Amino acid sequence: METTEKIWLNGKIIDWDDAKIHVLTHALHYSSGVFEGVRFYATPKGPAVFRLEEHTKRLFYSAGVLEMELPYSAEGINKAVTDLIRINKIKSGYIRPIAYYSYGRMGLNPSGIPVDVCVAIWPWGKYLGKDAVQVKTSKYIRIHPKSVISDAKICGYYINSILASLEVKRAGYDEALLLDYQGNVAEGPGENIFWIKNGKLFTVPPGSILLGITRDSVKTLARDMGMQVEETQITLDKLKKADEVFFTGTAAEITGVGQIDDTLIGDGHLGKITAGLRDRYLKIVGGQDEKYAHWLSYVNS
Ligand SMILES: Cc1ncc(COP(=O)(O)O)c(C=O)c1O
């Protein structure tokens, strides 16, 4: 992976190579951590973080689900992020805040175990590498909402995403699609899903999915662009008959879905409406749309 010079760990800025943990760290064994994926972009006014406050809010929400008390305020975490970008002097990239039960005791009750908090950043280009990806429905379903609290971003949940990704990559596809426990479409391993039918935009309602911040941004943006937006369940068969399908996520941004299993969506390329939404999204994150300036936290302000 691409690296940077410094990492923020428990309030201190340290060298990338010194950000190490003990092998008996609780989270290494039981995945008892919470994390965020955030992006920052080059803008005419220098680097800006996209929807930092919402990401930090979700980090605290996820921590609460694990009854983990973070020894920093939201403002403290936000400052760590912007300081780190300034110190590492990179113009755009990915931000990974993570908090985890650290070293102290083993066993499945983590209460009282020290909590470490870390922020790392690094350059990260296009996550899925294409304008429109080929997707395969995974044999694994998205974790049952009665097994976990679905809308928290907890490290352990990602084994579900990893298994699905390994399965479909082995079969030659770019990305997985996971159904929910009722057989409806849920989401990608690290993306929410949208579809367009007769000019109207749809996405999956809360329940089994992570409530993506990009999902929220796209819903807002589409409504502002005059589109009707609705949250509804959809079967895989119906999804395959949509006019356009796309993924959203901090890493994936807005990426078209050109194929699901053996079925082409549209002509298999990035759809026209999706392209319009994506172009507008990229303008917003790049600080070229005043209307959404409040979604950006400038690093040099
Ligand atoms: C399972 C899952 N769904 C959806 C998303 C998209 O969320 P966001 O737009 O907040 O990055 C992510 C990425 O964080 C994810 O891991």
145 with 277, same domain: the answer is yes
Residue of 211, 250, 284, 295 with the most ligand 1 atoms within 8 Å of its CB, for mutation? 250
Asked if residue 294 is part of any domain, the answer here is no
71 with 155, same domain: the answer is no
Asked if residue 168 is part of any domain, the answer here is yes
What are 243-283's pLDDT values in tens digits? 999 999 999 999 999 999 999 999 999 999 999 999 999 99
Residue 176 has pLDDT above 90, yes or no: yes
Beta strand pairing call for 48-50 and 93-101:
unpaired
Asked if residue 299 is part of any domain, the answer here is no
Ligand 1 site, residue 192, Cβ cutoff 6 A: yes
What are 186-232's pLDDT values in tens digits? 999 999 999 999 999 999 999 999 999 999 999 999 999 999 999 99
182 with 200, same domain: the answer is yes
Asked if residue 296 is part of any domain, the answer here is no
- CA gap 250, 239 in Å, rounded: 23
pLDDT band with cut points at 50, 70 and 90 for residue 125? confident
Ligand 1 site, residue 55, Cβ cutoff 6 A: no
Ligand 1 site, residue 208, Cβ cutoff 6 A: no
- Look at the chain and report how many structural domains it folds into: 2
The CA dihedral of 296, 297, 300, 301, to the nearest 10 degrees, is 100
Residue of 150, 210, 214 with the most ligand 1 atoms within 8 Å of its CB, for mutation? 210
277 with 136, same domain: the answer is yes
Asked if residue 35 is part of any domain, the answer here is yes
Reduce the DSSP state of residue 157 to 3 states and report it. Answer: helix
Q: What is the CATH number of the domain that holds 146?
A: 3.20.10.10
Domain hosting residue 212, numbered range: 132-285
- The pLDDT mean for the chain works out to 97
Asked if residue 22 is part of any domain, the answer here is yes
117 with 136, same domain: the answer is no
Ligand 1 centroid to Cα of residue 267, in Å, is 27
221 with 112, same domain: the answer is no
150 with 255, same domain: the answer is yes
Q: How far apart are the first and last CA of the chain?
A: 29
Question: 120 with 96: CB under 8 angstroms?
Answer: yes
- CA gap 82, 47 in Å, rounded: 9
21 with 54, same domain: the answer is yes
Ligand 1 centroid to Cα of residue 59, in Å, is 12
105 with 239, same domain: the answer is no
44 with 168, same domain: the answer is no
Ligand 1 site, residue 36, Cβ cutoff 6 A: no
Q: Which of 136, 153, 219, 240 is catalytic?
A: 153
Helix residue ranges per DSSP H, the chain: 26-30, 52-65, 74-88, 158-170, 213-224, 236-239, 272-285
Question: 188 with 175: CB under 8 angstroms?
Answer: yes
206 with 68, same domain: the answer is no
Asked if residue 176 is part of any domain, the answer here is yes
- pTM of the predicted model, to two decimals? 0.98
Report, in angstroms and rounded to the nearest whole number, the Rg of the chain calculated over CA atoms. Answer: 19
221 with 281, same domain: the answer is yes
Q: What is the CATH number of the domain that holds 67?
A: 3.30.470.10
**CB neighbours (10 Å) of residue 115?**
23
Q: Is 291 a catalytic residue?
A: no
Residue 159 has pLDDT above 80, yes or no: yes
Asked if residue 298 is part of any domain, the answer here is no
Two tokens, residue 276:
């319009």
Ligand 1 centroid to Cα of residue 119, in Å, is 18
